[in-house]
A and B are shown apart, each in its own frame.
Chain A
Amino acid sequence: EDQVTQSPEALRLQEGESSSLNCSYTVSGLRGLFWYRQDPGKGPEFLFTLYSAGEEKEKERLKATLTKKESFLHITAPKPEDSATYLCAVSLNDYKLSFGAGTTVTVRA
């Protein structure tokens, strides 16, 4: 069965303390893996799409990487405004995304 698992469930960081979030997936024929950021009371905000193993995307302090089994979201020197829940999703086929449960990141000043 297709599955997306994110770890850890929660991550507490000091400002400037770099770390990584993991998204493991079991889906055959990956068509796209998506990272989103969700703030409390808001909808998910699209960050990145990754299509093939070895691909990397960057945006400010965030960098997403992809292998054949998992994706990592690296947060470099985080700031308090990076506090959010980060969601990973994989495309199962047209129209259907399978989402992980998310990693809630808290960055303390």
Chain B
Amino acid sequence: ETGVTQTPRHLVMGMTNKKSLKCEQHLGHNAMYWYKQSAKKPLELMFVYSLEERVENNSVPSRFSPECPNSSHLFLHLHTLQPEDSALYLCASSQDGAGDQPQHFGDGTRLSIL
């Protein structure tokens, strides 16, 4: 496997369910990110981890809970979501988070809340 891999690719859940999104990067990077992408809107940064430590929490509701057990894996735990949370959730990584480095993205999880 190469690059950034996200699973599952599609997820349908009810508002009372609990589920988790998984991201794995094979690039040897130290920084990992969660983004939300809604139709016709710019990507919204949700969380940033650097060397497994959270460095950014962009005013995200507590129904989204990130976890970074090591520098290669990132999870997003979901519970009691709302219909407006339906979106494409993207994971990204970069070498060490410096502002002059590009971020590399996975193909996302398409989340639908019933």
Q: Mark A41-57, 1 if CB is under 8 A from B, else 0.
A: 11111100101000000
Q: How far is the CA of A4 from the CA of B42 in the complex (A)?
A: 9
- Across the interface, B103 reaches (CB within 8 A) one of A4, A41, A97, A98, namely A97
Size class of the B contact interface (CB-based, 8 Å): 20 to 34
**Cross-chain pairs A/B with CB under 8 angstroms, 22 sampled:** A32-B101, A34-B102, A34-B103, A41-B110, A42-B108, A43-B4, A43-B92, A43-B105, A44-B90, A44-B105, A49-B102, A94-B98, A94-B99, A95-B55, A95-B99, A96-B45, A96-B48, A97-B45, A97-B103, A98-B42, A99-B43, A101-B42
Q: Are B99 and A45 in contact (CB under 8 A)?
A: no
Residues of A in contact with B (beta carbons under 8 Å apart): 4, 31-32, 34, 36, 41-46, 49, 51, 87, 89, 91-102
